[in-house]
Amino acid sequence: MTFVTFMTSSRGRMMRVVMGIILMSIGLLVVKDTLGTVLALIALVPIAGGLFDFCVAGVVMGYPFSGEKAREQLGQERRR
For the chain, the domain total comes to 1
Percentage of the chain exceeding pLDDT 70: 100
- Model confidence at 1: pLDDT above 80: no
Instruction: Let me know if residue 74 belongs to a domain.
Output: no
For residue 46, the enclosing domain spans 2-64
Express each pLDDT in 12-33 by its tens digit. 999 999 999 999 999 999 998 9
Please list the residues that pair with 66 across neighbouring strands: 54
pTM: 0.87
Instruction: Let me know if residue 70 belongs to a domain.
Output: no
What is the chain written as a DSSP string? -HHHHHHTSHHHHHHHHHHHHHHHHIIIIII-HHHHHHHHHHHHHHHHHHHHTB-HHHHHTT--SBHHHHHHHHHHHHH-
Instruction: Let me know if residue 47 belongs to a domain.
Output: yes
Mean of all residue pLDDT scores within the chain? 93
Express each pLDDT in 21-75 by its tens digit. 999 999 999 998 999 999 999 999 999 999 999 999 889 999 999 999 999 999 9
Instruction: Let me know if residue 69 belongs to a domain.
Output: no
Instruction: Let me know if residue 72 belongs to a domain.
Output: no
